[in-house]
Structure 1
Amino acid sequence: MNQDRKSRQQSQQQQQPQQRAQSQDPKKGGQQPSPEGKPQQQMGEGSYEGTRDYNQRTEEYLKSHDVKSDAEAARPRSEQEAREMKEAEREGRSHSKGEH
């Protein structure tokens, strides 16, 4: 029994350096380098590059577009469309893990 446990521990110890090397590889969900060259922790489904790109595009949009006009154009054009939009929002929220 002790022999079995020892061989499992040795096997796990041999695998650990490989796992650490893989966790550092950004393509495998590991750490990503920052602009300063320091590793950053990749978390969740997003990526730092994707977040920077989204933030930059959002900032450019807000500077170059009339947001009030865009919001006005997105308003429902009838009571029926307003009800449909509310129902679609309710349906979408029912699938989320966050706010309901």
Structure 2
Amino acid sequence: MKSTAKTPIPGDGLQGEGNYAAARRHRESTEQFVKSGAVEPAARKAAPHDIDEAREMRDAEKAGKSHAKR
């Protein structure tokens, strides 16, 4: 059976089971975004603006979930 494990390449950012530095940067930027107060305006901007857009978003979500592993 062929292994699917990736061989770490020096300098590629892999650190064991993941890139901890990238995870830390993502977590910090997410915390900063939440503290900035920009979440509510971003959520309102992302919301569907009419029934057709709401249906399109729902269909896209359904299609995406159909590809998810269970």
TM surpasses 0.5: yes
Structural mapping, 1:1-100, within 5 Å: 26-27=8-9, 32=15, 42-43=16-17, 46-98=18-70
Structure 1 runs of 4+ aligned residues shifted over 4 Å read: none
**TM-score scaled by length of structure 1:** 0.53
- Distance (whole Å) between structure 1 residues aligned to residue 69 and residue 45 of structure 2: 30
Greater C-alpha radius of gyration: 1
The alignment's C-alpha RMSD in Å is 2.4
- Distance (whole Å) between structure 2 residues aligned to residue 93 and residue 64 of structure 1: 31
Higher relative contact order (CA 8 A, sep 6+): 2
Render the CA deviation track for 1:22-62: whole Å, top value 9, x for unaligned: xxx85369x83xxxxxxxxx22xx41111111001101111
5+ residue gaps in structure 2? Answer: 1-6
| Matched pairs, number | 62
1:75 deviation in Å?
0.8
The structure in which a higher percent of residues are helix is 1
1:96 aligns to what SS in structure 2?
coil
- Distance (whole Å) between structure 2 residues aligned to residue 57 and residue 27 of structure 1: 27
1:65 deviation in Å?
3.2
- Distance (whole Å) between structure 2 residues aligned to residue 74 and residue 55 of structure 1: 22
1:27 aligns to what SS in structure 2?
coil
5+ residue gaps in structure 1? Answer: 1-24, 33-41
**TM-score scaled by length of structure 2:** 0.72
